[in-house]
Structure 1
Amino acid sequence: MRLSPLVLVFGLAASSLAVPGVSQRPDDQLTPKSVALVKQGEASAAAGRYAEADDAFETALAVDPRNRAAFVAMARVAAKQKLYGQAIRFTNKALSLEPTDRSALAVQGQAMVEIGAAGRAKEVLAKLQTVCAGACPEATTLSAAIARGPTMAAAKPAEKAKTKTN
């Protein structure tokens, strides 16, 4: 009976000690299989096989959900397919893992330009310029895209004119 409080105190102290995880990896170490799948997906995307590329990127994320490159690559594929909202969602996931990812910011900004959100794209450009100490190609490309404006909006009046004449 006298030892009960003492045992309880030692039990609480022992249970509050941190136990190191044996199988935990640092955040910057990705599974080699996931990295290989991203490379495979990038090759498929370069060849124009977007469905294969998406499959490879999704598998890479299933293997290692911390693979930012897979999210950014999926965003690029979505943008090529003119799925700009989906591209923004994928870049948001990449930016939740690393808020200063220059390639994710650039893809996100260009997708925002394409949907006509120039104000938001300028905010992304400002963030990108703070991330880049000096001039960087991502900021230059995004700045040019903002100056050019959305290509999607330019195509719509031309399509309307064609349908009116027919």
Structure 2
Amino acid sequence: MRATSRFLLIGLASLALAAPVSGQRSDDQILPKSAELQKQGRALYSAGKLTEAEDLFETALAVDPRNRGAFVDLARVAEKQHLFGKAIRMTNKALQLEPNDADAIAIQGEAMVELGAVARAQQNLQKLQTICRQGCPQVAQLSAAITRGPTVASAKTPETPKTN
């Protein structure tokens, strides 16, 4: 009798815990409004309107925080603005949603190169090579960035001290 009531109690508890989860959408089902905002943001990005594109990507994420593509697109904008730390943060958020997102891994690796973290970028390249067995454009893209090295740091010239 005691065992039966325990099993019944455990069954009811597991049913109560599973009920809220069954109504949730899967990660690959992005709300249409978020996808539309992201599409508009990509058009603005292509036109070179980075600030406006960034605003739309952020709005797309406000509509649906699981829009991994919007995180990746925000990282692209941040890279164009030479905000490499932000690019890494945005790709980290995308990789939390999908650890094998080739675009996020490549963009993150490129940002790491620009910050001088070439060894970590090399790890990203190895991960991409594992994911893309037949090769994908992201492997070539990150490999070229690693070979090229940081472009922003080399473009900066050290300031000369002012003399009076």
Compute the TM-score of the two structures, normalised by the length of structure 2.
0.86
What residue is the counterpart of 1:78 in the other structure? 78
* Cα deviation code 1:41-66 (max 9, x no counterpart): 11111112111111111111111111
Q: In structure 1, what is the equivalent of residue 25 of structure 2?
A: 25
| CA-based RMSD | 2.4
Output the amino acid matched with 2:131.
V
Q: Corresponding residue for 1:134?
A: 134
Q: By how many angstroms is 1:12 displaced?
A: 5.8
Q: 1:19–1:49: structure 2 CA closer, same or farther, 3 Å change rule? A: same
Paired residue type of 2:41: G
Q: Considering only CA atoms, is the larger Rg found in Structure 1 or Structure 2? A: 1
Q: Shift of the alpha carbon at 1:20?
A: 6.0
**Identity across the alignment (%):** 58
Summarize the alignment of residues 3-152 of structure 1 with structure 2, pairs less than 5 Å apart. 10=8, 13-17=11-15, 18-19=18-19, 23-152=23-152
CA contact (8 A) 2:27 2:97 kept: no
Q: Between Structure 1 and Structure 2, how many residues are aligned?
A: 159
Shift of 1:95: 0.4
Moved more, 18-27 or 31-40: 18-27
Equivalents in 1 of 2:138, 2:126: separation in Å?
A: 12
In 2, Cα distance between equivalents of 1:150 and 1:11: 61
- Distance in 2, matches of 1:111 and 1:150, equals 9
The runs of 5 or more residues in structure 1 that have no matched partner are: none
CA distance in 1, matches of 2:9, 2:153: 67
Contact 2:38 2:57 survives alignment (8 Å): yes
Residue 115 of structure 1: how far off its partner (Å) = 1.0
Q: Which runs of 5+ in 2 are unaligned?
A: none
Change (3 A) 1:19 1:84: same
